[in-house]
Amino acid sequence: MKIHVLTLFPDMFTNFLQESMVGIALKQKAIEVNLIDIRDFAHDKHRTTDDYPYGGGAGMVMKPEPLYEAILFAKQGKEIPVIYFTPQGKLLKQPTVFEYSKIDELIILCGRYKEIDQRIRDTLVTVEFSIGDYVLSGGEIPAMVFIDAVARLQKGVLGDIDSALTDSHQNGILGCPHYTRPPEFNGLKVPDVLISGNHKKIEEWRAEKALEITRKNRPDLLGNDE
Ligand code: ADE
């Protein structure tokens, strides 16, 4: 999977791309990330990429020309989906991550300042996602969230594919509690069922706990109001 990232802050990705699962996915060539600095597509001597909003008001807007050129450069004439991260986008959820993890090549556009010029959104952006109901200073962290989420789903990246299949949100609900050694820690014991060796009972216990946690923390996932 090849991901082009259009950003004003490519250095933000340096460590992120080297560590943990994403680092492994890159080393295994399960994913490839091409960082493109939007500022390289500015033409004036100050390499300006933002300007005042028409109609006035606070905040700057990212200019259309550098974005247009940067997107066309990334596309190289190919039909590649362009994802734009904005708090105005559709909430990114695991089924969508799963769907996008199967795409061969895509472009992620990271906005900054107040927003990007609407004409780029209207003509070049395929889909807009938000990662939650809060406002970040730019799309770089959402882009990292997305890259991490799709990278760990690539074949051969997770040691044990089951660990993706039992994640929270994979089945529309949250995951169950997990324990590791020692069997007793600070007087707290691992539930007996998990050391019983009875796989049917273990699965039943996990399903029940997953439901319990979902009911408590995310009743909306079960179709209930808060
Ligand atoms: N850009 C700024 N805030 C964001 C959010 N919550 N999700 C996606 N992109 C963003």
* Residue 63 CA, ligand 1 centroid: distance in Å: 19
Residue 97 maps to which CATH number?
3.40.1280.10
State mean pLDDT over 27-33.
Answer: 97
- Same domain? For 142 and 177 the reply is no
10 located within any domain? yes
Distance CA 118, CA 63 (A): 10
Q: What does pLDDT average to over the chain?
A: 95
89-121 tens-digit pLDDT: 999 999 999 999 999 999 999 998 889 999 999
Whether 145 lines ligand 1, by a CB cut-off of 6 Å, is no
158 located within any domain? no
131-179 tens-digit pLDDT: 999 999 999 999 999 999 999 999 989 876 667 877 888 888 999 999 9
219 bridge partner residues:
none
Question: What letter would DSSP give residue 67?
Answer: H
- Count of domains forming the chain: 2
Last residue of a domain, one of 120, 151, 182: 151
51 bridge partner residues:
61
182 located within any domain? yes
| Residue closest by Cα to atom 7 of ligand 1 | 130
Task: For ligand 1, pick from 130, 140, 141, 145 the residue to mutate: most ligand atoms within 8 Å of CB.
Answer: 130
164 located within any domain? no
- Same domain? For 11 and 69 the reply is yes
- Same domain? For 185 and 141 the reply is no
- Same domain? For 116 and 185 the reply is no
Whether 58 lines ligand 1, by a CB cut-off of 6 Å, is no
* Residue 201 CA, ligand 1 centroid: distance in Å: 42
177-213 tens-digit pLDDT: 999 999 999 999 999 999 999 999 999 999 999 999 9
79-96 tens-digit pLDDT: 999 999 999 999 999 999
Residue 201 maps to which CATH number?
1.10.1270.20
- Report the alpha-carbon angle 196-218-162, nearest 5: 45
59 within 8 A of 120, measured Cβ to Cβ? no
| Residue closest by Cα to atom 8 of ligand 1 | 130
160 located within any domain? no
Distance CA 6, CA 123 (A): 16
Supply the range of the domain harboring residue 201: 173-222
- Same domain? For 142 and 191 the reply is no
- Same domain? For 107 and 181 the reply is no
The pLDDT value recorded for residue 169 is 87
| Residue closest by Cα to atom 4 of ligand 1 | 87
Whether 84 lines ligand 1, by a CB cut-off of 6 Å, is no
88 located within any domain? yes
- Same domain? For 77 and 185 the reply is no
- Same domain? For 132 and 193 the reply is no
- Same domain? For 98 and 205 the reply is no
Tokens of 2: 């090849």
* Residue 84 CA, ligand 1 centroid: distance in Å: 9
31-73 tens-digit pLDDT: 999 999 999 999 999 999 999 999 999 999 999 999 999 999 9
The pLDDT value recorded for residue 76 is 97
Closest-CA residue to 95 (of 171, 155, 166)? 171
Task: For ligand 1, pick from 136, 137, 140, 146 the residue to mutate: most ligand atoms within 8 Å of CB.
Answer: 136
Position 52, amino acid: Y
Distance CA 5, CA 62 (A): 16
Task: For ligand 1, pick from 131, 137, 140, 145 the residue to mutate: most ligand atoms within 8 Å of CB.
Answer: 131
- Same domain? For 114 and 191 the reply is no
214 located within any domain? yes
| Interacting residues of 33 by C-beta distance below 8 A, sequence separation 6+ | 2, 3, 4, 5, 13, 17, 26, 147
Q: Which helix (H) or strand (E) holds 213?
A: helix 199-217
Last residue of a domain, one of 90, 118, 151: 151
* Residue 8 CA, ligand 1 centroid: distance in Å: 15
- Same domain? For 77 and 28 the reply is yes
151 within 8 A of 2, measured Cβ to Cβ? no
Question: pTM for this one?
Answer: 0.95
163 located within any domain? no
Whether 139 lines ligand 1, by a CB cut-off of 6 Å, is yes
- Same domain? For 100 and 182 the reply is no
